[in-house]
Chains A and B, each alone.
Chain A
Amino acid sequence: MLSIKNLHASIEGTPILRGINLEIKAGEVHAIMGPNGSGKSTLASVLAGREEYEVTEGEVVFQGKELLELSPEDRAREGVFLAFQYPIEIPGVSTTNFLRTALNQVREYRGLEPLDAVKFLSLMKEKMALVEIDQKLLSRSLNEGFSGGEKKRNEIFQMAMLEPVLSILDETDSGLDIDALRIVSNGVNKLKSEKTATIVVTHYQRLLEYIVPDFVHVLYKGRIVKSGTKELALELEEKGYDWIKEEVDSTATV
């Protein structure tokens, strides 16, 4: 489904991603871990199409299409969804009021009829139940005065509405208490299918008990320096990253 080859990206001339290779198949869950500043969010942003990042080398193929050539909105319409690590506030725009526009543009792209107000509302009700989010929250200005947990829940709610093929969850678990974590992961799990794939960026093994990964990758200094199965996450939780850093830094420095 997604094939990333030798991806290099920089911001304002500083290289951040320095040769990422990653293959993801339908039905899989990949966890990406790694120390702060290693480039996890940068990878997520590059996949979603943020313009500040300049891709200097490499290619990304998503369902047979050159992802990097698509606009951010077309990527979303093709089925890429990014749950932001730091969802921003947008005064004056409520989730309800932009999401209908979004959903109908996505549907149009996919050759589906637009949803009228009634159908949209009933779909909303269904998905709201999934992440246990309150309608009142959705009619307020996006993320303005939302708690950390509410922001993250809103991201997953939007994901549920847009039914993506590839979901990238950037630290959706950070700052959640255990109840919220369970609700959010439950939502994510219900949305998973044979046809979809998920990338979870996280610092904590805790999330991976709920959303069980098929593969775990460690990102360090803009490269995937280690890949394994879910046991790798346990090992990282126990030992931290120093051993990996040492391994990498000793071989890399020439």
Chain B
Amino acid sequence: MSTLTQQEFVLGFFEAAPATYSNLRQLGKESFYAQGLPALKAEEYKFTPIAKKLEMSLTDLSPTKSIQINAERVKSALFAGFKGTVLVFSNGAYLPEHSTSTEGISVRLLSENESTPLGSIAKADKDPFVALNQATFSDGLHISLEKNKELDSPILLLQFHQAQGGQVISPRIWIEAGDFSKATFIDYPISLDDAPYFVNKVVEIKGGINANLTYHSLQQEHNQVIAVSNLVTDIQKDSQFTSTQITLSGDMVRNNLTLNLLGSNSVGNMYGIYLLNGKTHVDNHTNVDHTIPHAESNELYKGILTDQSRGVFNGKIFVRQIAQKTNAFQQNNNILLSEDAIINTKPQLEIWADDVKCSHGCTVGQLDEEAQFYLQARGIDKTTAKGLLLYAFAGEVLDKIEVDSLRNHIVAQIQERLGSKF
């Protein structure tokens, strides 16, 4: 693959792109060509050489085809005890026959009518992968939540992925939540085998006034997967939006999260855990834009890295001049368990207003050996003691996940990992 020139290399992406939204796709393509794949050392992708990774890992950049999923497969993918709406996708394509419906939620294929204002929240010129997705997305889903509708159980976006035909999957989701609505989404991709692929997802969320939305993402695709996601949301007045991003595996993973606080008295929460081993590389870039006065953002990301894994955290807080009385908190804590693990962490604060409460901090450390000894001195074996401490470290974020079945699933994954590996 590396014998191809950059130009020839990216051509594969555009093979067989669907014909819908042709204007939008054209703009996406132009924007992508204007930006190009992030060059080595490009500021936004400084520590994540993704172009090189794509070039070295993938042989076929054309889109994957939809795959057959049976009901058994869907059932076995659900978290034990999960109750809620299930929306099933196969390589980005929605599968209505396996999905369930709930009163107050309506879904339609993006291709059904081309009226969804895609690209109005996740802007193509902000990131080459948004542009690329805009040019090439397979069909996706438009999800709307009725005004005043408060869901008492979550909506699971169950996404099966498998390279077939090509190796690129480009899911696109648009979520619109009415005023005074409340919902929790769980974004859960699953690899069906261990062949490599590149998944480039864009999710746009348009929140209503006084809405309360939560979006949990669980990344545990296999270790050959290159995954880029862009989650962008507009948060209106008196609303709350919470994201948790749990990353447990992958080859190279880049999560871009953008919160636009557009109305006063709005709150944006960004929480994350990355628990990495092997050679997994995970880059969390978050960006909260305080555009109005009297809004609040809270951010807490915790990382545990071992082996030769690599983590990147970049948290941007942008407070515009007009956004007085902003409260913005950010914290990123990391534990490195091996000499070869690396973390690059960077708060990026741009504050143009003068009456603002803003705090940030990042820590990088090792496991507390004294604490470990204390537990051992009480009769607990070393592995369990480590596990207990690491679990406690991550616990602050896990506690933010209010869906029991999801939290239990994650806890089990983490415990297994800590028990066997750490």
Which A residues lie at the B interface, using CB under 8 A? 48-51, 71-73, 75-77, 81-82, 84, 87-88, 90-93, 98-99, 101-103, 105-106, 109, 158, 162
Task: Say yes or no: B396 contacts A77, CB within 8 Å.
Answer: no
- A141's nearest neighbour on chain B, judged by CB, is B392
Task: Say yes or no: B376 contacts A49, CB within 8 Å.
Answer: yes
Residues of B within 8 A of A106 (CB): 379
Residues of B within 8 A of A71 (CB): 376, 381-382
> In the assembled complex, how far is the CB of residue B333 from the closest CB belonging to chain A, in whole angstroms?
11
Expressed in whole angstroms, the Cα–Cα distance for A91 and B378 within the complex equals 17
* B residues 349-392 touching A (CB-CB < 8 Å): 368, 370-371, 373-382, 384-385, 388-389, 391-392
Task: Say yes or no: A98 contacts B395, CB within 8 Å.
Answer: no
* B residues 25-58 touching A (CB-CB < 8 Å): none
Chain B contact-residue range equals: 20 to 34
Contact status of A93 and B392, CB under 8 A, knowing A50-B373, A76-B376: yes
Contact status of A105 and B379, CB under 8 A, knowing A88-B370, A90-B374: yes
The total number of A-B Cβ pairs within 8 Å is 73
Expressed in whole angstroms, the Cα–Cα distance for A73 and B377 within the complex equals 5
Task: Say yes or no: B376 contacts A90, CB within 8 Å.
Answer: no
Task: Say yes or no: A90 contacts B377, CB within 8 Å.
Answer: no
> In the assembled complex, how far is the CB of residue A208 from the closest CB belonging to chain B, in whole angstroms?
25
* B residues 379-412 touching A (CB-CB < 8 Å): 379-382, 384-385, 388-389, 391-393, 395-396
| 12 A-B pairs (CB sep. < 8 Å) | A48-B377, A73-B376, A73-B381, A76-B376, A76-B377, A76-B378, A76-B379, A90-B389, A92-B391, A93-B371, A102-B379, A109-B379
Task: Say yes or no: B371 contacts A90, CB within 8 Å.
Answer: yes
Residues of B within 8 A of A81 (CB): 377
- A48's nearest neighbour on chain B, judged by CB, is B377
> In the assembled complex, how far is the CB of residue B161 from the closest CB belonging to chain A, in whole angstroms?
34
Closest 3 CB pairs of A and B: A92-B392, A76-B379, A72-B376
- A158's nearest neighbour on chain B, judged by CB, is B378
Residues of A within 8 A of B376 (CB): 49, 71-73, 76
Task: Say yes or no: B379 contacts A88, CB within 8 Å.
Answer: no
Contact status of A90 and B392, CB under 8 A, knowing A84-B374, A101-B384: yes
> In the assembled complex, how far is the CB of residue A77 from the closest CB belonging to chain B, in whole angstroms?
5
Contact status of A93 and B378, CB under 8 A, knowing A72-B373, A88-B371: no
> In the assembled complex, how far is the CB of residue A161 from the closest CB belonging to chain B, in whole angstroms?
9
> In the assembled complex, how far is the CB of residue B300 from the closest CB belonging to chain A, in whole angstroms?
13
Residues of A within 8 A of B377 (CB): 48-49, 72-73, 75-76, 81-82, 84
> In the assembled complex, how far is the CB of residue A126 from the closest CB belonging to chain B, in whole angstroms?
18
Expressed in whole angstroms, the Cα–Cα distance for A211 and B62 within the complex equals 79
Expressed in whole angstroms, the Cα–Cα distance for A162 and B379 within the complex equals 9
- B370's nearest neighbour on chain A, judged by CB, is A88
Residues of A within 8 A of B389 (CB): 90, 93
- B394's nearest neighbour on chain A, judged by CB, is A92
Most buried by A among B380, B391, B393: B380
Most buried by A among B370, B373, B379, B384: B379
Task: Say yes or no: A101 contacts B380, CB within 8 Å.
Answer: yes
> In the assembled complex, how far is the CB of residue A44 from the closest CB belonging to chain B, in whole angstroms?
10
Expressed in whole angstroms, the Cα–Cα distance for A105 and B389 within the complex equals 17
Task: Given contact pairs A88-B370, A106-B379, A162-B379, enumerate 5 new A-B contacts (beta carbons under 8 Å).
Answer: A72-B376, A73-B381, A84-B374, A90-B392, A102-B380
Q: Per a CB cutoff under 8 Å, which of A50, A92, A103, A105 touches B381?
A: A105
- B374's nearest neighbour on chain A, judged by CB, is A88
Expressed in whole angstroms, the Cα–Cα distance for A167 and B195 within the complex equals 57
- B390's nearest neighbour on chain A, judged by CB, is A92
Expressed in whole angstroms, the Cα–Cα distance for A99 and B377 within the complex equals 11
Residues of B within 8 A of A77 (CB): 379
Residues of B within 8 A of A103 (CB): 379
Expressed in whole angstroms, the Cα–Cα distance for A82 and B396 within the complex equals 30
Task: Say yes or no: A98 contacts B388, CB within 8 Å.
Answer: yes
Expressed in whole angstroms, the Cα–Cα distance for A98 and B375 within the complex equals 8
